[in-house]
Amino acid sequence: MDKRPSISNMLKEERRFAPPADLAAHANVTAAAYEEAAADRPGFWAAQAKRLTWATEPTETLDWSNPPFAKWFADGKLNVAYNCVDRHVENGLGDRVAIHFEGEPGDTRTITYAELQSEVCKAANALTALGVRSGDRVAIYLPMIPEAVIAMLACARLGAPHSVVFGGFSADALATRIHDADARVVITADGGYRRGKPSALKPAVDEALTRPGTEDVRSVLVVRRTGQQDIGWTDGRDVWWHEFVDRQSDRHTPEAFDAEHPLFILYTSGTTGKPKGILHTTGGYLTQVSYTHHAVFDLKPETDVYWCTADVGWVTGHSYITYGPLSNGATEVLYEGTPDSPHQGRWWEIVQKYGVTILYTAPTAIRACMKWGDDIPAKFDLSSLRVLGSVGEPINPEAWMWYRKHIGADAAPIVDTWWQTETGAMMLSPLPGVTDTKPGSAQLPLPGIAATVVDDDANEVPDGSGGYLVLTEPWPAMLRTIWGDDQRYLDTYWSRFAGKYFAGDGAKKDEDGDIWLLGRVDDVMLVSGHNISTTEVESALVAHPKVAEAAVVGATDPQTTQAICAFVILRGGAAEDEGLVDELRTHVGRQLGPIAKPKRILPVAELPKTRSGKIMRRLLRDVAENRDLGDVTTLTDSSVMDLIQAKLPSAA
Ligand code: WT7
């Protein structure tokens, strides 16, 4: 293999923010956790497993005798739904609100833990009546409504692994996932609300179930959410949730399952090949999501109101809407819609209304809010917020600063959490009562997690250098395999560096040894012999007052191998004049050095994003190299690409 230079470390960031003193004084987790975990990693996780209520306490912690196939707490038995619901009711917390649901049209529902228990029991009884048994797979294709969480918990209660498919995915994507997991039941809704309008879901299920490979689906359970759609109905297969679930008994005795019993399969889109069914199991997964939700958000379940804005169709929703918060007895907000419907202050209105104290969202949303303007959040009382989280992409330092200043009143710590569908739970993050935070850095592995940055030869890089992020020890919430494809599991994650999990992300260590994520390694640009991270150039652009968002790609160039090509969205009001491009080039040169100056800069109105909000640089590379666009099916809005191409007058 060609020896490539390691990824450059160009961005210098000097700002530091100490934890607020009162938060630090009462923090759930202190610096001692790092020492405890370092002294005895399995022992640390065995102690965290006691957060859960086990039907049979595990005596074994980690079985790593057949790496990389891990078993955690293998002789323990537990029921996940019991841990997320029933035990809180038994502990006298039945009247505590579990979910404040806010529908996009403004309808609301308040669900206490006692109510959640009866809903989950009824749904579990309904699934049993539909023939679902432990081990059967159930596909869930729902909008962000309480039934999504209830359905997941009902499956978990029965030991029936769920496969949640994001409601924005097409009939094709749904069919592929139903087929791969061989699902027997699909849980869906007539539709949901999106930007003020009902948007149908059931027709996609009907269409998916005409595709080969989906014949084993015998029942479709349909939630009536909008009641406004004329939907097709297949007698004998389709049943209404409000008829069928509501007439079931609200009592159900949970069965305990092995800690390694499958909990769910979640498909990652990936950029190439067929989607990978990431398999997560029970005891280790729940231990780590529960611990990290408690530690990273400093959750005080008696007083906090927690809100994660993700969709349950993504792993963030699985781990930090359903399993983490509910296992901890949290009170949380569940919101159905988009941040700008019916107005661009909708999120802040929700924070004010429910007194949200912990907010967990994504950089893409923060940058959108930056673009809409500071005056919008300023209209609302956000003083309840005390911890802010970020996940999904590297957060540019200026977006981080904006989040802190305009949402967190210049006081709430920001926890930038790095993890993946595959890791199941957070892996790198500051701790809000411990870490002096740095804008744009996920900083360090959580207690009990071992991660580092290595070069091409798997040697750890010195402080101040770039390379690849790897995980060097197994962790409780790790994926167990790719559903039905152990070989692909080995090839994808464990073959690049012997004995280490390779996440696919570039990263660097700064002079203090803190870790900064630099974007996917597939996106790294090779310019005149330097490997330059997309993240660093984008962050430099976003640090310019006129830029709200930026995406950079390396386009083939005869002189420099690749040339940096930047697509920028300007902040509200900034003019797109002749001088702007020069001004931005000079600015990047000053921030990072002349080598990082983009050769071309193109102001655009929107950037191509996946449905989970990540920038699709691959398509921008196609544009920059004047190629026909590759697969655009995972784009949120494919017309974005037409607009961008129309701005490109001539070939590079
Ligand atoms: C990829 C995983 C983890 C839940 C949502 C995404 C990127 C995620 C960060 C972060 C920099 C991040 C990585 C990672 N990513 N969080 N805090 N800083 N990059 O899950 O869809 O499986 O994507 O998202 O590239 O590998 P996912």
Alpha-carbon separation of residue 183 from 155, 161, 319, 596 (angstroms): 12, 9, 22, 49
Q: Report angle CA 277, 469, 427 to the nearest 5 degrees.
A: 65
CB of 612 closer than 6 A to ligand 1?
yes
Mutation pick for ligand 1 pocket among 418, 426, 428, 614 (CB with most ligand atoms within 8 Å): 418
pTM to 2 decimal places: 0.95
The per-residue pLDDT for 637 is 75
Report d(CA 291, CA 307) in Å as an integer: 17
pLDDT recorded at residue 271: 55
Closest atom of ligand 1 to CA, residue 535: 11
Ligand 1 atom showing the smallest separation from residue 422 Cα: 22
State the pLDDT at residue 628. Answer: 79
Q: What are phi and psi of 479, to 5 degrees?
A: -60, 150
Taking each helix axis from N to C terminus, what angle separates 32-39 and 41-48, rounded to the nearest 10 degrees?
A: 120
Cβ 289 under 6 angstroms from ligand 1? no
Distance from C-alpha of 381 to C-alpha of 377, rounded to nearest angstrom: 8
pLDDT at 230: 80
Measured in degrees and rounded to the nearest 5, phi and psi for residue 37 equal -70, -35
Preceding peptide of 476 cis, ω within 30°:
no
Positions of the chain with pLDDT lower than 50, given as ranges: 1-2, 650-652
ipTM of the complex: 0.99
Tell how many helices (H) and how many strands (E) occur in the chain: 22, 30
Q: What atom of ligand 1 comes closest to residue 442's alpha carbon? A: 17
Residue nearest to atom 12 of ligand 1 (CA): 393
pLDDT confidence of residue 612: 85
Does 243 belong to an annotated binding site? no
- Tell me the best of 11, 318, 322, 393 to mutate to test the pocket of ligand 1, counting ligand atoms within 8 Å of each CB and taking the most: 393
- State the Cα torsion 288-291-296-297 to the nearest 10°: 120
Q: Are strands 276-281 and 257-258 parallel, antiparallel or unpaired?
A: unpaired
Among residues 391, 352, 337, 395, which one has the least CA distance to residue 370? Answer: 395
Instruction: Kindly state if the Cβ of 505 falls inside 6 Å of ligand 1.
Output: yes
Q: Are 363 and 395 in contact (CB under 8 A)?
A: yes
If you write DSSP's letter for every residue of 458-505 in order, what string do you get? Answer: SPBPPTT-EEEEEE-S--TT---EETT-HHHHHHHHSSSSTTSEEEEE
pLDDT of residue 1: 41
Known binder of ligand: residue 195? yes
DSSP 82: I
pLDDT tens digits, one per residue of 579-618? 999 999 999 999 999 999 999 999 999 999 988 889 999 9
Q: Convert the pLDDT of each residue in 286-321 to its tens digit.
A: 999 999 999 999 999 999 999 999 999 999 999 999
87/444 Cα distance (integer angstroms): 33
Measured distance CA(423)–CA(426) in Å, rounded: 7
Q: For 571-627, where are the E strands, in sequence order?
A: 600-603
220 bridge partner residues:
186, 238
Nearest CA to ligand 1 atom 27: 420
